[in-house]
């Protein structure tokens, strides 16, 4: 085993965590600012120039807050639940390539942590579902009936939309004939971005991921008007911050995944000549998608819970199966297009 | 082969460390003055009524069971999708039969009202 390799892994992992943390901080800022502008307000503008230091101020404030643990709560699970929730969000992106291969300090470095993993998509689907455990444990350990209801609702919703999400992954796999995320991006370089071939799949992916990360209009588990704050009602201070971190990091994560599977990932003009452009292109695509998620929040009201579940099971699931069949038929009918 | 997963393990350990630090920060710097009132379960300021963990509607359980069934079916799509171009028309017909069988179960579940929320 080479020490340089281990050092490279550690540096990449630290960089990934730093990027996600900074991304989390400034997604909260972006969301508050964009929502404010859409409602003709200013948004945060006191801490630092244009309010740019607001996320730092929020973080410092949360560190010095009192943390309450309800009297009859399960203490161990209560502390463990936010950790279980945040871990998958931090590790999902390990298999996603952020760019091609760059030459740095005389080493060939691929801009991903484990991009060539041949079961990349299996890893993605497996890791995303772990977050559910954190939610339901948080709800149960709080010993609060609203938290519990929020946790159970979150579980039912996330697993219902996971079916459609899992089927939406099938389209890109069919077109690229591989479960490796790297290979899927390369295939998009050969035959064009997959959202051209997968318009239904792309829309299903966007809707299902919105439900998966509990964002508006699918934020039923945290419906403020009826469930206080859902599964993290009893959480305060830094544990609350961990839940918020999960929510916003997952926003970034699903944007990265949508960009990677349907919008060509890090690909763009001249990316072959200048590999450093890769992360820039990916950042632009992710920024647009995250902005879209925030826009949706500013625009749409919340779904009613029964309609939400009916929509997931009666429309999304059959549509996703149909999309798989259509893609299969397309590949057989037009073998020349798929390379 | 397993070497490919080592970078993920490194990332996982560092992420765990980060989560631990975040929790520890809150414990170190946050004040702690628990009172009986404060450590009650939050119920919009009222005295909590009944136990915190209570019975849930059986429907949620039903959804979980259905999820397991259909999710396993989705897993069957994955290997099929990887070798689909080699299988060609045969693969499509096979999958049509598979989906037809799956569809019978789906229609049954729908007709029995398992997807309704009343």
What are the residue ranges spanned by the domains of chain B?
2-111
- pLDDT value of residue A115: 63
On the question of pLDDT at A184 being above 70, the answer is yes
Q: Structural domain tally of chain A? A: 1
Are the C-beta atoms of A194 and A172 separated by less than 8 Å?
Answer: yes
Buried/exposed code over A193-230 (b: 16+ C-beta within 10 A; e: otherwise):
bbbebbebbbebbbbbbbbbbbbbbbbbbbbeeebbbb
Contacts with A, B 87-106, CB within 8 Å: 88-89, 91-92, 95-96, 99, 102, 106
Contacts of A97 (CB under 8 A, 6+ apart): A110, A111, A112, A115, A181, A182, A185, A260, A265, A266, A278
Question: Given A152, A162, A305, which is nearest B56 (Cβ)?
Answer: A152
- pLDDT score, position A247: 87
Residues B99, A325 contacting (CB under 8 angstroms): yes
pTM assigned to the model = 0.89
Asked if the structure places residue A110 within a domain, the reply is yes
- Asked if residues A64 and B30 have their Cβ atoms less than 8 Å apart, the reply is yes
**Number of CB pairs, chain A paired with chain B, less than 8 A apart:** 217
Q: Determine the pLDDT at residue A319.
A: 92
Chain A residues lying within 8 Å of B60, measured CB to CB:
152, 155-156
Give CA separation, A224 vs A70, A227, A238, in Å: 20, 6, 20
B112 touches chain A (CB under 8 A): no
Is A339 inside any structural domain? Answer: no
Q: How confident is the model at residue A255 (pLDDT cuts 50, 70, 90)?
A: very high
Is the predicted pLDDT of residue B63 greater than 70, yes or no? yes
Q: Which residue in A65, A72, A331 is closest to B52 by CB distance?
A: A72
A327 in a structural domain: yes
The mean predicted confidence, pLDDT, of chain B is 83
- Cβ under 8 Å to B: A residues 257-316: 305-306, 309-310, 313-314
**If you average pLDDT over residues B27-45, what whole number do you get?**
78
C-alpha distance from A108 to closest chain B C-alpha (Å): 16
Which two tokens mark A47? 């801490």
Phi, psi torsion values for A23, nearest 5 degrees:
-60, -45
List CB contacts (< 8 A) between A145 and chain B: 41, 43, 48, 50-54
- Taking alpha carbons only, the member of A263, A246, A245, A167 closest to residue A208 is A167
| Sign of the CA dihedral with A14 first, then A15, A17, and A21 last | positive
Look at B82 and A237 and tell me if their CB atoms are within 8 Å. Answer: no
Overall size of chain B counted in residues: 118
* Residue B54 CB coordination number (10 Å): 9
Q: Which of A91, A95, A331 sits opposite B15 (nearest CB)?
A: A91
CA-to-CA dists, residue B110 to A288, A313, B21, B103, B107, angstroms: 38, 9, 48, 10, 5
Which of A63, A114, A245 faces B29 most closely, judged by CB atoms? A63
CB contact under 8 A, B19 and A72: no
Interchain CB contact of B47 with A (< 8 Å): no
Residue A333, phi-psi category: left (phi > 0), alpha (psi -120 to 50), beta (remainder): alpha
User: Does B45 reach chain A within 8 Å, measured CB to CB?
Assistant: no
What span, in angstroms and rounded, lies between the C-alpha atoms of A93 and A98? 9
Average pLDDT taken over every residue of chain A: 84
pLDDT, tens only, B1-35: 677 788 888 888 998 998 888 888 888 887 888 78
Q: Which CATH architecture has domain B2-111?
A: Up-down Bundle (1.20)
Percent of chain A with pLDDT over 90: 9
* Shortest distance, CA B10 to any CA of chain A (angstroms): 7
Residue B29, pLDDT score = 83
Q: What is the structure's pLDDT at A291?
A: 92
| A106, part of any domain | yes
DSSP state of A316: I
Lowest mean pLDDT among A54-58, A167-171, A213-217, A310-314: A213-217
Q: What does the pLDDT average to over A168-193?
A: 87
ipTM of the complex: 0.84
Q: Domain limits at A16? A: 3-333
Would you state the torsion angle of the CA atoms of residues A15, A18, A19, A24, taken in this order, to the nearest 10 degrees? 160
A19 and chain B: CB distance < 8 Å anywhere? no
Of A64, A83, A86, the CB nearest to B29: A64
pLDDT tens for each residue of A208-244: 988 888 877 777 666 666 666 777 777 877 888 888 8
The string of DSSP codes covering A30-83 is HHHHHHHHHTT---S-SSSGGGTTHHHHHHHHHHTSPPP--TTS-HHHHHHHHH
Q: A148 and B26: CB-CB below 8 Å?
A: no
């Amino acid at each position: 085993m080479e020490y340089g390799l281990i050092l490279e892994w550690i540096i990449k992992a630290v960089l990934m965590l730093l990027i996600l943390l900074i991304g989390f901080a400034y997604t909260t800022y972006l969301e508050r600012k964009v929502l404010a502008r859409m409602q003709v307000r200013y948004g945060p503008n006191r801490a630092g120039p244009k309010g740019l230091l607001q996320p730092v101020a929020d973080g410092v404030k949360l560190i010095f807050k009192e943390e309450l643990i309800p009297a009859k709560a399960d203490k161990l699970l209560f502390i463990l639940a936010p950790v279980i929730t945040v871990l998958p969000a931090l590790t999902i992106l390990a298999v996603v390539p952020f760019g091609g291969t760059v030459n740095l300090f005389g080493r060939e470095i691929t801009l991903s942590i484990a991009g060539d993993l041949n079961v990349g998509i299996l890893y993605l689907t497996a890791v995303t579902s772990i977050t559910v455990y954190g939610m339901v444990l948080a709800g149960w350990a709080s010993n609060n009936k609203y938290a519990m209801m929020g946790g159970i609702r979150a579980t039912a919703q996330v697993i219902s939309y996971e079916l459609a999400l899992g089927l939406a992954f099938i389209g890109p796999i069919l077109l690229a004939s591989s479960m490796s995320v790297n290979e899927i991006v390369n295939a998009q370089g050969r035959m064009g971005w997959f959202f051209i071939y997968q318009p239904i799949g792309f829309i299903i992916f966007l809707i299902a991921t919105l439900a998966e990360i509990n964002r508006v209009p699918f934020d039923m588990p945290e419906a403020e008007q009826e469930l206080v704050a859902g599964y993290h009602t009893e959480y305060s201070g830094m544990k609350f911050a961990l839940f918020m971190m999960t929510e916003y990091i997952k926003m970034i994560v699903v944007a990265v995944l949508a960009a990677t599977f349907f919008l060509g990932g890090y690909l763009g003009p001249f990316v072959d000549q200048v590999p450093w452009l890769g992360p820039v292109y990916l950042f632009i695509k992710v920024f647009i998608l995250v902005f879209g998620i925030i826009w949706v929040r500013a625009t749409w009201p919340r779904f009613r819970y029964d309609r939400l579940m009916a929509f997931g099971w009666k429309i999304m699931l059959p549509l996703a199966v149909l999309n798989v069949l259509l893609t299969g038929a397309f590949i057989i009918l037009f073998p020349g297009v798929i390379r | 082969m397993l070497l490919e997963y080592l970078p993920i393990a490194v990332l996982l350990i560092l992420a765990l460390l980060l989560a631990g630090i975040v929790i520890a920060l809150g414990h170190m710097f946050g004040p702690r003055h628990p009172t009986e009132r404060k450590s009650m379960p939050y119920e919009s300021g009222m005295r909590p009524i009944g136990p915190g963990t209570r019975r849930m509607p059986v429907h949620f359980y039903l959804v979980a069971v259905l999820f397991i069934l259909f999710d396993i079916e989705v897993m069957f799509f994955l290997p099929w999708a990887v070798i689909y171009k080699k299988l060609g028309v045969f693969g499509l017909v096979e999958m049509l039969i598979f989906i037809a069988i799956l569809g019978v179960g789906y229609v049954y579940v729908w007709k029995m009202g398992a997807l309704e929320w009343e």
